[in-house]
Amino acid sequence: MTGSEPTSIATKSRLVRDSAILKFTLFGIVILAYMLRGWGLHDRGFTADEVSEVRSAHAPLSSIILDEDDDRFPPLYRVALATTIRLTGTDLAARWLNVLFGVVAVAVAWRAGVELLGPRAGIWPALLLATCPLHVHFSREGRAYPMYFLLCSLAIWAMLRLRRTGDFADWLFLGVASVLAIYTHYFALPLLTVLWISALLVAWGRKDFRLGLAVMLGAGVACLPTVFLYWQASQDLPGEKLVASFDIEAWAYTFMSLVSGFTLGPSMRELRTMSAAEGIRQFLPWVVPIGIVLLTLSVHALVQLRKPGLLALFAALLIVLPPVIGWGGDFAGVGFVYRYVIWLALPFVLWLGAGAARCGESKTALVAVAVLLLIHGIALKNQFFNPRYQGEDFRAVAQYLEASETRRPILVASPYMAAALDYYLDDDWKVSSFPIFAELEEQRQNEIRNFRESLSEGSEYWYVSQWLPDDDVRRTVRDRASETLAVQFTTEVAMMEISTGVR
């Protein structure tokens, strides 16, 4: 008795110490996640998409809920954004709201990691998500995707819990997360289908199976209004396709972006001006080390996750779903963009986190994690500081125009871009625009004619257009309008081409 007492005290002391270290580490990871997402958040102005979100958030809540602007997004994010802007009194809250979503998602990654790997190893997915360049990128942008990611992550966590518990609370957790995710982004549906199938297969033969089935049906009924919302928003889709189709290159770059965050190798702009072969050649110096790291951690993850159904689950999430969503987007006419599968970052870091959990046993796992974090750091440095990877910034465009000696009228190729520019200009600027869809030729000619007739002979004006690659369907129309106006290119500012014209 007396001999075992000191041992028991020592064990308890070690457990308390380990728990304290774990909590301190988690706190440090959360702070790191906040700093990466919040540091210098407004050094760059809003993009056109962000301005559109902010402006729409000022509409009446009833209009937002009914999606009367036909933006093809469910209303939940915009309701959250509108509420946040009303409470804070500033549009800048749009980005801070997503910083919050991003940081909370890191905590969810930790809880999902604990459920999958155990209390100590659960730290690894949290660390990898905290530094994930793709997640940092979207968490700093005022759009729906960080909320979409968070809700999908909650659903994944709930599904992992159900593999163990079968409790009503966890079924309800999965049901609520599913409904909220669908009301944030329609492309949550394929992911949720896989999660529900996985949860029900695990529950097959358990007494909670029927309970799970009932919750799933209830969630489906709750989501029925989104069918009407999507049908209504799809009625006014442009005839021209503006986004890329899904292909093998897009599939490969989806995984590259999880590590690079679009800031290693060629920039997104450069990729749109080069062949696939040239893009691969320029990516090769990064593909090799990234490939070795991912392969190494994947081998270790296979050792960690040899549990019934887990390997099939990760294969479905990481390998099967991206092309299903990509080809589904092609079929729906919206194409494929990487943010549709932003939730992929969670199963990705859970998988790599399983490999990283073997750092204490394997030097190769330790080296692989160290190299991966170094690559994250380089990508984040480029994201913050390298002009090569910077995108739209309409505040910078407005500042360039306002610095000119005289205020000239402005003609913008695209009402969408004109609204973003007008957001940052003083009220005394005159901003006109014309559509650049080929099917709107008559409207375009009328808008250009009305603009020119509003000017006196010899008047100078600014002509502003988004940079467009040669294969963009709008490029030909834009260039034809530029030739008709006989404008002269002046400079490019933040992905916007600025020219001058004379009446």
State the pLDDT at residue 471.
77
- Of 38, 58, 52, 102, the closest CA to residue 416 belongs to 52
Full-model pTM: 0.94
Q: How far apart are CA 307 and CA 251, in angstroms?
A: 27
Question: What average pLDDT does range 432-446 have in this prediction?
Answer: 92
Chain centre distance of CA 206: 37
SS3 sequence of 11-54: HHHHHHHHHHHHHHHHHHHHHHHHHHHHCCCCCCCCCHHHHHHH
The dihedrals phi and psi of 60, each to the nearest 5 degrees, come to: -60, 145
State the pLDDT at residue 371.
98
Rg (CA), the chain: 25
C-alpha atoms less than 13 angstroms from C-alpha of 4 in its C-beta half-sphere: 1
pLDDT at 179 over 50: yes
Q: Which sign, positive or negative, has the C-alpha torsion 386, 387, 391, 397?
A: positive
**Other Cβ atoms within 10 Å of 455 Cβ, number:** 17
- Binning the chain into helix, strand and coil, the percentages to the nearest 5 are 65, 5, 25
In the numeric block, which tokens belong to residue 145? Answer: 């995707």
Q: Which sign, positive or negative, has the C-alpha torsion 352, 354, 360, 365?
A: negative
Summarize pLDDT for 465-497 with one digit per residue, the tens. 999 988 788 888 999 999 999 999 999 999 999
Helix (H, G, I), strand (E, B) or coil at 496: strand
State the pLDDT at residue 195.
98
Chain centre distance of CA 391: 15
State the pLDDT at residue 91.
97
Query: What residues contact 321, with CB distance under 8 A and at least 6 apart?
Result: 190, 191, 194, 341, 344
Summarize pLDDT for 344-376 with one digit per residue, the tens. 999 999 999 999 999 989 999 999 999 999 999
State the pLDDT at residue 268.
87
pLDDT at 1 over 50: no
Exposure string of 154-185, with b = 16+ CB inside 10 Å and e = fewer, is: bbbbbbbbbbeebeeebbebbbbbbbbbbbbb
Question: What average pLDDT does range 437-453 have in this prediction?
Answer: 92
Question: What average pLDDT does range 273-286 have in this prediction?
Answer: 87
- Residue 60 DSSP label: -
Mean pLDDT, the chain, integer: 92
Q: How far apart are CA 338 and CA 348, in angstroms?
A: 14
Helix (H, G, I), strand (E, B) or coil at 159: helix
Q: What is the DSSP string of 257-317?
A: HHHHTT-SSS-HHHHTTS-HHHHHHHHHHHHHHHHHHHHHHHHHHHHHT-STTHHHHHHII
The dihedrals phi and psi of 138, each to the nearest 5 degrees, come to: -75, -25
What is the β-pairing status of strands 460-466 and 496-502? antiparallel
Q: How far apart are CA 333 and CA 360, in angstroms?
A: 48
Summarize pLDDT for 86-129 with one digit per residue, the tens. 999 999 999 999 999 999 999 999 999 999 999 999 999 999 99
Summarize pLDDT for 142-168 with one digit per residue, the tens. 999 999 999 999 999 999 999 999 999
Q: How far apart are CA 460 and CA 180, in angstroms?
A: 51
In the numeric block, which tokens belong to residue 245? Answer: 């189709």
- Residue 244 DSSP label: P
For the chain, which residues make up each domain, given as ranges?
A: 18-389, 394-502
Helix (H, G, I), strand (E, B) or coil at 463: strand
Taking every pair of C-alpha atoms in the chain, what is the biggest distance, in angstroms? 104
Q: How far apart are CA 235 and CA 99, in angstroms?
A: 33
What share of the chain in percent tops pLDDT 90? Answer: 75
Q: Which of 187-201, 261-275, 321-335, 402-416 is the least confident region?
A: 321-335
Q: How far apart are CA 375 and CA 372, in angstroms?
A: 5
State the pLDDT at residue 18.
74
- Of 258, 254, 297, 249, the closest CA to residue 375 belongs to 258
Q: Which sign, positive or negative, has the C-alpha torsion 111, 116, 119, 123?
A: negative
Summarize pLDDT for 408-434 with one digit per residue, the tens. 999 999 999 999 999 999 988 999 999
Q: How far apart are CA 305 and CA 498, in angstroms?
A: 54
pLDDT at 73 over 70: yes
How open is the CA angle 444-435-69, to the nearest 5 degrees?
A: 130
How open is the CA angle 213-153-16, to the nearest 5 degrees?
A: 105
- Of 417, 385, 443, 444, the closest CA to residue 498 belongs to 417
Q: How far apart are CA 434 and CA 418, in angstroms?
A: 9
State the pLDDT at residue 4.
56
pLDDT at 238 over 60: no
